[in-house]
Amino acid sequence: MTMSDDRMKILVLNGTYRPNGTTTELAQSFMEGAKANGAEVDMIMLRDQSIGYCTNCLKCYGFAGKGIAPCSLKDDMDELIPRIVEADGILFASPVHNGFVTGLMTVFWERLSWRVAQPGKPFLNCMSIKTRIDDKVRAVGSIASAGGMPNRLRKSCDDGTPWLKSNAPLMLHGQWIGDIYAGADLEHMPESSQDWHRIYFLRRLSAVQRQQAYALGVQMAKAIQSGGLKPVTIDKMIHPALKWILKLIFTFSPPYRVAG
């Protein structure tokens, strides 16, 4: 929580294209859970923001100063990033599109990443990532809403959550609190080939999925209140045994070679 304003703030970044779809419904349940536990919660619909495509000019990447790095584009990201920095908790909510988060969410992340993080010291002979916003530890989590795949097949369809889980805590100086995958819960088993074609339209949210989203909101608010959040660093992300094995491999076969 911020020193100047001790209310707990949680921000939901919603990457859906449908404002009243399932992702938003789940995000709203999350918000109710967080609010019931003392958080002030706000949701930003990325679709309503003006967010241009990253031009890869590397102005942010190369910034050596303190705080948020500048960007050569001028749009709503300039207002969004300070709100993210101010937040004690951040939830990323996205439909599963082509097995990943939406294009809207990745466009947003391309514009966010090097403004809040920078290349750190080489780690295991590879480039590392260091946050620029280490003023406080943020709670982070995600909600993924999928149309076709039931929960037990999550691993074969949801690459977005593992990606968020490995990037968001590192870049936003945070701890991963939890994630929800809400897979297809169909009105009935698809019976005809028409049903199979319409599978996304047979989909609805179950009471359990809404409860899970609510519980994630409660969990995030409580984790912030506990004051015991620990930030992820690249060093902590790799198991010591794996670190040792990689060091050995890279001694004989360095991952980078200078062409010449």
Ligand X SMILES: Cc1cc2nc3c(=O)[nH]c(=O)nc-3n(C[C@H](O)[C@H](O)[C@H](O)COP(=O)(O)O)c2cc1C
Residue 148 as a binder of ligand X (CB under 6 A): the answer is yes
**Checking DSSP bridges between strand 138-145 and strand 126-131, what pairing results, if any?**
unpaired
* Residue with the CB atom nearest ligand X in the bound state: 21
Contact flag: residue 13 with ligand X (CB under 6 A): no
Binding of ligand X by 149 (CB under 6 A) = yes
DSSP-derived letter for residue 67 is S
Strands 126-131 and 117-123: antiparallel
Q: Which of 7, 18, 198, 236 binds ligand X (CB under 6 A)?
A: 18
15 binds ligand X, rule: CB under 6 A: no
What is the distance, to the nearest Å, from the Cα of residue 260 to the centroid of all Cα atoms in its chain?
A: 39
Q: Which is nearer to ligand X, 90 or 93 (CB)?
A: 93
Find the binder of ligand X among 36, 126, 200, 254 (CB under 6 A): 200
**44: contact with ligand X by CB under 6 A:** no
Buried b (16+ CB within 10 A) or exposed e, 118-130: beeeebeeeebbb
User: Is residue 147 a contact point for ligand X (CB under 6 A)?
Assistant: yes
- Decide whether 213 or 232 has the Cβ nearer to ligand X: 213
Q: Applying CB under 6 A, does 175 fall inside the site for ligand X?
A: no
CA distance 123 to 172: 19
Query: What strands, in cross-sheet order, belong to the sheet with 138-145?
Result: 39-45, 8-14, 89-95, 138-145, 174-182
Per CB under 6 A, the list member of 28, 113, 142, 145 interacting with ligand X is 145
Burial class of residue 63 in the structure, from the number of CB atoms within 10 Å of its CB (0-12 exposed, 13-18 middle, 19+ buried) = middle
Residue from 8, 9, 13, 22 binding ligand X (CB under 6 A): 22
CA distances from 168 to 109, 133, 171 (A): 9, 12, 5
Nearest C-alpha neighbor of 233 from the set 191, 171, 183, 188: 171
What DSSP character marks residue 205? -
Binding test (CB under 6 A) with ligand X, winner from 38, 67, 82, 99: 99
Contact region for ligand X (CB under 6 A) — 112-120, 145-153, 159-167, 242-250? 145-153
Asked if 48 touches ligand X (CB under 6 A), the answer is no
Using the contact rule CB under 6 A, the part of the chain among 34-42, 57-65, 95-103, 186-194 near ligand X is 95-103
Binding site for ligand X (CB under 6 A): 16, 18, 21-23, 95-99, 145-149, 157, 200
